[in-house]
Structure 1
Amino acid sequence: MNEERATIISKTLSRVLRHNPGANGGVAIDLQGFTDLVTFVPYLNTLGPFDKSPVSLEEIEEVVGSDFKKRFQIAGGRIRAYSGHSFQVDIGGEAFYPAGPLYFGTTETSRRVLNEGLTVSKKLKVRLSYSYPEALEIASARPGDRPLVIEVDAERLAADGASFELLPNGEIVTDPIGPDYLVEAQAHKAVHLPHPHP
């Protein structure tokens, strides 16, 4: 599969699984974020561009399996997105208590978040990375701009009452974060703690 088709499949999975439950006669997504592949694949093939070039289950499995961000899960004939939802789901994460900073990977065009805070639009939670290299990899994968890694004073944020959740794919999510907890991360100063999911 070429990179362009893989990207289209990945973006479509994100759009439908994160933001489109049941829309326009679409697929039903349960409280854990899962939908059955037996109905999901035919539904995708009613959407452009797959209405002209159908996507197969094998292609979906390849995209999910090769995604370095681990954004999706296939299990028991079902598929779900791990995070980024605009509707309530229970992914089955566990309470997480940060013992140091966390990181957010973005690009220079979003530098304003250092003054405005990490907010959410459609998504209900902010997704954070456990390490600077992980956040930099995410930031570098965004096309068209220079990567920017933001350090979150997560330990102080937790002490001030914020709660964090560690998802099964290793992502950490929390509610929107004010600018007082954010600084631009510097690679040589970044703190590297053991990852909770080795």
Structure 2
Amino acid sequence: MGAHVPPSVYRCGVCGRLVESRVHCGSSCVLLLDGGRRLRLSKLMSLLLRHRPELGGLKVDAEGFVEVRELVEAARRLGLRWVREEHVKAVAELDSKGRFELRGSRVRARYGHSIPVEVRYEKGSVPDVLYHGTTPEAAARILREGLKPMGRRMVHLSSSIEDAIAVGRRKCRTPVVLAVDAKRASEEGVEVYRASSRVYVAKYIPPKFIRLLDSGESL
């Protein structure tokens, strides 16, 4: 169950945008970061910004931010000697799940923390149903006790069944997908926040809002 290698990142020589294709604006682009290096840097950024900043000698602020240049220095100390600021910015800007946020000269993880930081999420509309991928053993417990952070600050919910399956496959080969009646939970007082375009978070989801995904529900 190896990690999926993301596309390489290129810079368009015409408009200057970071893109995932070799041609943009009708012209060939310059390779900035190949898929393998992008994956390695993304994993290291997640580790340092979510769980172990001390490994890189980093001090995150109360909201989880560090200076991009300090993160670059940490990555180099930890063996990724090729990393530059533009690489960190590319990983953060193009992450398909919105894992990272750039704000001026700083960067942070948007969700997934086990360290004590407070990310302020804006409340907004919540989909009728969200999804959570897990192991069959954990699913049985969740259906009894509800969804708890289990070592992280928040519970993670996926906006699509496909994403939930991908999350579950990090834990086992044949994951179970749970459906969460998110809108009903929100209407009954459970605070559900949008952390990115594809991920929602909550501090706890009671079991009455959770069910096994119906086999008839579409992917």
Structure 2 unaligned residues grouped into runs of 5+: 1-32
Q: CA deviation at 1:81?
A: 0.5
Q: Which position in structure 2 is the counterpart of 1:185? A: 213
Secondary structure, in 3 states, of the residue corresponding to 1:128? strand
Q: Which position in structure 2 is the counterpart of 1:152? A: 180
Where do residues 1-150 of structure 1 align in structure 2 (5 Å cutoff)? 1-21=33-53, 23=54, 26-47=57-78, 49-50=79-80, 53-96=81-124, 98=126, 100-106=128-134, 110-117=135-142, 118-136=147-165, 138-139=166-167, 142=170, 145-150=173-178
Q: Deviations over 1:81-111 (max 9, x none)?
A: 00011234333312246462211234xxx12
Answer whether contact 1:115 1:179 (CA < 8 A) is retained. Answer: no
Answer whether contact 1:82 1:169 (CA < 8 A) is retained. Answer: no
Structure 1 unaligned residues grouped into runs of 5+: 192-198
Same amino acid, percent of matched pairs: 28
Distance 1:125 1:28 in 2: 21
TM-score, normalization by structure 1: 0.74
Q: Deviations over 1:43-77 (max 9, x none)?
A: 22111x32xx4322232233223321110122311
Secondary structure, in 3 states, of the residue corresponding to 1:7? helix
Q: Which position in structure 1 is the counterpart of 2:15? A: none
Which has more radius of gyration? Answer: 2
TM-score, normalization by structure 2: 0.68
Q: CA deviation at 1:145?
A: 2.1
AA of the residue aligned to 2:151: K
Q: Deviations over 1:106-144 (max 9, x none)?
A: 4xxx122221113323311011123334434x4387497
Q: Deviations over 1:149-195 (max 9, x none)?
A: 3201224433554221223555311023354433232474259xxxx
Query: Are residues 25 and 64 of structure 1, via their aligned partners in 2, closer, same or farther at CA, if it must alter by over 3 Å?
Result: closer
